[in-house]
Structures are given as structure tokens and as C-alpha cells.
Structure 1
Amino acid sequence: MQLTFDADVEKFRAEFVAFLDAHLPDDAETMQRSRSSSDVPPWARRWQRLLFDHGWLLPGNPPEFGGRNATVLQQYVHAEELSRRRIYPSFNPQGVGIIAASILSFGTSEQKQQWAVPILRAEIAASLGMSEPGAGSDLASLSTKAVRDGDHFVVNGQKVWTSGAHDADVLLTFVRTDPDAPKHKGISVLLIPTDSPGLSRRPFASASDREDLDFNEVFFTDVRVPAENLVGPLNEGWRVANGSLGHERTMLWMGYADQLQELTVDFSPSGALECDHYATLAMDCEALRLLGSVAVARAARGDEDVAAMSVLKLLGSEAVQAATGHVLSSAGGDGLIHPALTGPYAPLNLDSHFASWFDRYFRTFAATIAGGTSEIQRNIIAQRILGLPRN
């Protein structure tokens, strides 16, 4: 067992830290906020482009796509340093982490240059068109259809929960191209520019945030999409979908671990949490980091462990939800108001918290849904780890 990183990994970390120390934007500049997950302020575009140009945006990528061919462990310490400083490499996370990554995995060389590179360089923003009113966690039930018409596809249907669509330039959209195929077959993926005639976007508020709109309904009415915008083979969209969600889940657990770590710091000296609740919080935090480290070590050896990602996602999202719920319960009426600067329930890291504990608890339910619901994760764990039958 090796509990430290090799010299090459620590050298990589030191180089990245030096870059951050030299190039981080000024605090005054970063006060301009993002209104949605596809709204990238000018300073954030410059920051993302700087990361791309120096190979620090997605270090596992080759240099032409914003990286430096980093190993898995080097990618891990890169994410660790970003997390430690609470730095976002992009304000269009689904564009960089899911959509551009999917194009690089499944797209043509022309699509990589036309779409992936501009997304990675923050020249355009992208959103993910997956969920529909009747196809949420069960994506394979989608009904938005695309019919081939010469050198175009004609798209009709609706998407929902499409984060940032009203600020996006392009949607990576999952459509049904063979209605007679089994539901996991006959799905294809299209890159659809949001200024296409017949495409309309309607943002709507969430119950936990009525000021900054992110969710959207997206409607397609005879939208004509060039056939060259097909990502991956025709009717092989399910494979692309699995790859897209895989990109989303790879380092997702680190964000949950950071939230748990913050809570252990916020409440360790105050006694505001009951002892057993605080102990559970501390153990969940440590367990998540240890299990995550094991998964990273396996990935570094070339072992793909999809089920382990489900364990980490389930543990992390539900541990954050439980811990935040305990804080809210302990805070009582104080949990309904914006946190004061003093008192037992005032977070120590005030820069990262802008809502009441009730709002923060309410938002944790999104984490148990996005990236694959807890129910789906339990099914994967039951089948792939415990060996239980599907029915």
C-alpha cells in the first residue's frame, strides 16, 4: 500500500499550483456572477481560455484539446487543487465536462474542431438535451424524433430540465431515429444550434432558486439539422449516452467530499450538531475520500469500475443531504433565514454559502437526481456488485 504520490505527480501538482498563483483572476473581476450553467461572464471566458491554452483545462486531454496527456493520478491532484481553492475551471460545466468530452469520444475530426474546441475555449456554450416530460431517469423512453430528409434531419418533440439552454449556443440532443427499434435502440445524437428556426426555449424557476433561472423547456417544431451534426453512428445514441454520463460521474464524488469536509470544519468547534450526527458526518466524509481514492487507484491501473462510481455517487449525495438535514433540524427557526455572520450556525467559509440552511438542504435533493438518481444507482449496485437478479 502506498499512501503518497510519486515524485512525478507531486512535480505536476507544484507546476499547477505555480500557474494558479501567477494567473488567478482578481477578486474584483470575479464578482460578476453567472446566471445559469451556460452563461459564462467575460472574465470567466478569459480564464477558461487561459487554462485551455496552457493545458490546464482538462489535463488528461492532448494539448490540442486543452490538456497535457496527464495520467489519472495527475488529473486527480489537478482536481484536488481546484477543489482546495474552490476554483471553477469553467462556468459551462456540462459543456466542458460532458458535451465537449462526448464529441471528443464519439465525434468526427470536423466536429471536434467545429464544436468541441470552441466549447473548450469558451467561445460558445453548450447544454445537454436529454430529459423529457416522460423520460427522466428512464432516458431510453424518450420520444423526441428525428426523421431523415435528404441531407438534414427534421426534429420534433420536447426536452425539459435542460440546464442553461436559454444561454447556450448549441444543444447535444438525444432523439429517436428508429421508432420501430427496441427502446434502447434507435436513439441518435444531434448537435442542434439554438438559433435554428423552429427551436424555442422557455426557462423556468426551480423551487429552491427563483432568481437565477437555469432549467428550461425546449421545444422542437420541424427543426432542420444538417446530417453532418450527427454525433456517433446512427441509432447508436445509447452508447453515446452512457459515455456522456460516464464523463459526468468520473470525479463527481470529490465535490461531495468537499461539502462534507466543509461541514466538519464549520461545526467541529461549535457543538451545534449532536455528537452522533457529527460523528456520522465525519465518518461519511472519511469513508467517501477513502473509497474515492481506491477508485482513482484502480483507474490509474487501467481498471474501469462503473459500479464503484455508483457507490461513490450514492454515498456522497445522500451523505450531504443527511448532514445538511441534521444542521437544519438543529438550527430550528434560525435555519430558515440567511446565515448570520456570527452564531453557532454561521458557516466559517462564508464566501461559499449564500443561502439559508433550508435552501441548502432543499438543493441537496437535486444531487440525488442529477447524474443518475439514487434509485438507479442502487439498481446498478445491486446487479453489478451484489449480483442480484434484475427482477
Structure 2
Amino acid sequence: MKLHFDDDVEHFRAEFAAFLDEHLPPDADTLERPRSVSHLPEWARRWQRLMFDHGWLLPQQPPEFGGRNASMLQHFVYLEELNRRRIYHSFNPQGVDIVAASLLSFGTEEQKERWAVPVLRAAMTASLGMSEPGAGSDLASLRTRAVRDGDHFVVNGQKVWTSGAHDADFLLTFVRTDPDAPRHKGISTLIIPTDSRGLTCRPMGSIVGLDDMDLNEVFFDDVRVPVENLVGPLNAGWTVANKSLGHERSMLWLSYADRLENLIADFTPTTPLEQDRYATSVIDHYALRLMGSAALARAARGEDDAAGLSVLKLLGSEAEQSLAEVALESSGPQGLIHPANSGPYAPLNLDHYFGSRFERYARSFSSTIAGGTSEIQRNIIAQRILGLPRGGGM
């Protein structure tokens, strides 16, 4: 299936493609690998600043924030072009697409200039402090406390799975400011610099190896945060969180479709079982593209379809994981070889980060967890689309 857009949208795509043709850095200039999603080598900073200065970093934003007031459909073809070429617009994606975008939506003018613009211009990096040991997909269960003390909040608690926190300049952190309020009503959002006294980041390895130190435990021990670092109204953090994740989820299906398409292109089935699972993946890919395009049309009309996005998230993440598994099984020991060990590669290209078939399979588990687990998506679908009752025992 191929979508066709109006002339203004296709002109926008062509303009962006021409920019990439002219400005993509040579492979030899991009060989230093970012060590986390909040670490930017100098070449990555230069690339992001170039994107910002030409209005291609966040196209839907106004020029002063790295955009060109693009429409939703223009933004979609921009993402398509990035995915087609398999490149990043920023190597601090959480900082740009979630943290800075959230500050532009909820922050004061001072917060936008002090925190958001430096992240967009790659002068700073940022990470997202949401998940806790007892509050992963259920953000409303968070227990990290922030108590007002004069012109500061005093923060105590712990976050976990905080990507890139040890390399970030600050965290957009969700804390409980009213323990007596209903779970969704007593949460606030704070900007917390990572060099704050009492804040400790503890990087930890992942399933793909100890050299992949992106995830962190973050501990807050009487961390004092100026009241001016409160983002949005006090106790309105649930609204900020939903908007923050909305920045991530609205077109997330396109990333799943792209990764699934590349897994399909990289895998040749040989046994009947592999052929069957391969055919299922191809069907899933077409279904994901079709349903995602319908969701895009609804969003372009201004319709809210959060439950529909859960369907796309569930289908895309689980289809990716299924095909990554069969591709790994079919490859034998060769599945452990990283592209960096088998020929030239460039970190600007996303294939560098997907790595070996083992790494792709291992990382596919995060797709069914991050941004809301598959179990959470099924609950949303059951309640909001199928109309089934909430919870209940046997």
C-alpha cells in the first residue's frame, strides 16, 4: 500500500529529502558512538543544531523552536523520510521529542528558554524520570515525594529504567506532591538537574551486555529543587504525563512498521515453519500500515483516538518481537555477529543500533514494555473498544 498526499505535502517531503541529500555528514565523521540516549558526541551535536537551524528538528513547532509550523500530514512524511533512510534527527530522542516538547506545551517562557531551547539546540540533553520500582506502566502508583519547603521542593525517592540519566543534564521528573489526593490528582512535574546535591545515578547493564549502559536507577536523597522548576500547575502532573507520552505515541506505529519492514527484508525463510511465521509477519506489516494510515487520517481531522493507538502499539510491538525471534532462531551462531564486526558501518544509520539479530531480538522485548506494556494495551482495548468491564476476579 502506498499513500498519496496533496501537492503541498509532497513538496514538503521533497524539500526535506533535498536537505538530507545536501547535508548528511560523511560516514567517516560519525564514527564515535553515543554511549547512551542522553550522550551526544560532538558530531551528533552539530547534526542536531543543523536540523534545528533549518527548521527540521521538530517541524510542527514554530521556527524559534526548530520547526516550520508543519501540518500533521507534513510531519508524517518527514518521519517517513527519516525512517526510509534509517537515520535519527536527534540522538537524544527522549530529550527532544518528549521532554523539550512537553516544556513547550506546559512550561513558562523562562523554562522554554532556559531548558527546552538548549536541549533542542543540543547544548544540553535531558531524560525522563517516570518509572519506579513499584510504578512502571502504572504511573499513578509512584511514590517519589516532593515536599514544599519555602522556595524549594525537597525530593526523596527512586526512579528506575531511566534511559540516559547518567549522561543527561536534567530530568523531567514526576513526583507526588499531595499524598492525600486521589492517585491521579497528587502528581506534579519538576525539572531536576542531575548535578543536584543528593541525586545519584546508577547505570546498569541490559540483556544485550554490560557495554550497553543506557538504563539507570536514580536516587533522590533530600534533593532541593527550586519552585520555579515546577512544570505546569501543582498537582497537574498526570495531565503533563499524558501529553508527554502522547508526543511519543501518536506516530509510534510508524517506527514499528519501519522496523518490521526491515526485519522482513533482512530475513529469508527456509523451513515451512519459518515460511509460515514470515507470511504472518508480512500480513501484520500490511495491517499495521493500513490501520496506522486510518489513524493518521482521524488525527488529521482532529479526532481523538487514544484507544486505537493502543491497538497499533500492541500489534506493532508484538509483530516485531515475533519476527525477530524466528530470524534469530534461523541464523544460528551468525545471529551473534554485530554489523560493526562484519564491515563498514555508520552510527548515523539506525542499523548500527539494532545490531546483531540477537540484539534486535533482545531489544524487541523493550518494545512490548516501554510506553505501556502489552498487558496495559490489552486492558485499554478491552475496556475502551470492546466495552468490557474493568478488572474483576474469577
**Shared fold (TM-score, shorter chain, > 0.5):** yes
In structure 1, what is the equivalent of residue 18 of structure 2?
18
Structure 1 residues 179-205: Cα deviation after superposition (integer angstroms, max 9, x where no partner): 111111111000001111111111111
Tell me how far 1:382 sits from its aligned partner.
1.0
For the residues of structure 2 that align with 1:353 and 1:366, how far apart are their CA atoms? 14
State the Cα distance separating 1:97 from its structure 2 match: 0.8
| Structure 2 match to 1:30 | 30
Q: TM-score, normalised by structure 1?
A: 0.94
In the alignment, the residues of structure 2 paired with residue 295 and residue 111 of structure 1 have an alpha-carbon distance, to the nearest angstrom, of: 33
User: What one-letter code is carried by the residue in structure 2 that aligns with 1:151?
Assistant: D
What SS is found at the alignment partner of 1:28? Answer: helix
User: 2:189 is paired with a residue of what secondary structure?
Assistant: strand
Q: How many Å separate the matches in 2 of 1:144 and 1:191?
A: 14
Alignment partners' CA distance in 2, 1:354 and 1:99: 24
Secondary structure, counterpart of 2:266 in structure 1:
helix
Q: Secondary structure at the match of 2:242?
A: helix
- Give the distance between the partners of 2:131 and 2:167, measured in 1 at CA: 18
Q: Distance in 1 between matches of 2:201 and 2:265?
A: 41
Superposed, 1:334-373 pairs within 5 Å as 334-336=334-336, 338=338, 351-352=351-352, 355-373=355-373
Q: Deviations over 1:138-194 (max 9, x none)?
A: 111111111111111111111111110000000001111111111111110000011
Change (3 A) 1:141 1:350: closer
Partner of 2:66: 66
- Residues 88 and 350, structure 2, Cα contact 8 Å, conserved in 1: no
The answer as to 2:302 corresponding to 1:302 is: yes
Which residue in the other structure is 1:122 paired with?
122
How many corresponding residue pairs?
Answer: 383
CA contact (8 A) 2:267 2:327 kept: no
Residue 255 of structure 1 is matched in structure 2 by: 255
Partner of 2:205: 205
* Cα distance between partner residues in 1 of 2:105 and 2:327: 42
State the alpha-carbon separation in 1 of the partners of residues 352 and 39 from structure 2. Answer: 19
Task: Classify the secondary structure of the residue corresponding to 1:132.
Answer: coil
In the TM superposition, what is the alpha-carbon distance from 1:390 to its structure 2 partner? 1.1
CA separation in 2, counterparts of 1:295 and 1:88?
Answer: 24
Match of 2:9 in 1: 9
> Matches of 2:262 and 2:176 in 1, distance apart?
43
Quote how far apart the aligned CAs of 1:223 are: 0.8
Tell me which residue corresponds to 1:345.
none
CA RMSD of aligned residues (A): 1.9
Separation in structure 2 between the aligned mates of residue 64 and residue 293 of structure 1, nearest angstrom = 30
Aligned counterpart, 2:137? 137
**Aligned counterparts of 2:194 and 2:338: Cα–Cα separation in 1:** 37
Q: Does 1:374 align with 2:374?
A: yes
Which runs of structure 2 are paired with 1:204-353 in the superposition (5 Å)? 204-268=204-268, 271=270, 274-336=274-336, 338=338, 351-352=351-352
Query: What amino acid does structure 2 have at the position aligned with 1:198?
Result: G
Distance 2:198 2:116 in 1: 24
Give CA deviations for 1:73-129 in whole Å, capped at 9, x if unaligned. 100000000111111000100001110111111111111111111111111000111
Cα distance in structure 1, aligned partners of 2:218 and 2:323: 35
Which stretch of structure 1 is more off in the superposition, 205-214 or 371-380?
Answer: 205-214
Distance across 1 between alignment mates of 2:20 and 2:3: 25
Which residue identity does 2:292 align to in structure 1? Answer: G
**Contiguous gaps of at least 5 residues in structure 2:** 344-348
- Look up the equivalent residue of 1:288 and give its one-letter code: L
1:75-154 to 2 correspondence within 5 Å? 75-154=75-154
The structure whose RCO (Cα within 8 Å, separation 6+) is larger is: 2
Once residues 136 and 350 of structure 2 are traced to their aligned partners in structure 1, the CA distance between those partners, rounded to angstroms, is 35
Structure 1 residue 331: Cα displacement: 3.0
Question: In the alignment, which residue of structure 2 is the partner of 1:389?
Answer: 389
Shift in Å, 1:212: 2.7
In the TM superposition, residue 307 of structure 1 has moved relative to its aligned partner by 1.1
Q: Which residue of 1 aligns with 2:190?
A: 190
- Give 1:341 deviation, angstroms: 5.8
C-alpha separation between the residues in 1 aligned to 2:255 and 2:107? 29
**Matched AA of 1:251:** M
For residues 27-60 of structure 1, the C-alpha deviation after alignment (integer angstroms, 9 at most, x for no partner) is 1111111100100111111111111111111101
Instruction: Tell me how far apart the structure 2 counterparts of residues 277 and 264 of structure 1 sit (CA, whole Å).
Output: 11
Q: Aligned pair in 2 of structure 1 residues 227, 51: CA closer, same or farther (>3 Å)?
A: same
